[in-house]
Amino acid sequence: MDSLIEAARDVQSRAHVPYSKYPVGAAIETADGEVFVGCNLENANYSNSLHAEEVAIAEAVKNGHRDFARLAVSSGRRDGVTPCGMCRQTLAEFADDDLVVCCDEGDDDPPSEYTLGELLPNTITEEMLE
């Protein structure tokens, strides 16, 4: 199994999901090979919940990284979950369109792979806001 998928699966055990019961783990690999992980953290006020992908990228950025190679996402159901729209936009703030996104399909199937550009075409950029 790919070590990035394994890292995403491992961090799921730390997810706080009392409402959805849908743990998600994410692992982002920097261009120099360092890996940062995140899990979803739900809140009774759903809008204050944190998604696994944004927790992982926040940890990487907090530690000075701005160049990313791959992201792996895994849910407890191993259902090929992809980052939601909000997470895709957050990723686009810090990663290029060619960021590889690996989505866990379970032990019997290889992960689905997309680029961030495929998942979020025509993203909102800083230049659009000027």
Catalytic residue numbers, as ranges: 53
Alpha-carbon distance 68 to 62, whole Å? 14
Helix axes 85-94, 52-62, angle to 10 degrees: 20
The two tokens of residue 58 are 């926040």
SS3 (DSSP) at 126: coil
Alpha-carbon distance 63 to 57, whole Å? 10
- Quick one: 12 exposed, middle or buried, by C-beta within 10 A (0-12, 13-18, 19+)? buried
Alpha-carbon distance 64 to 114, whole Å? 25
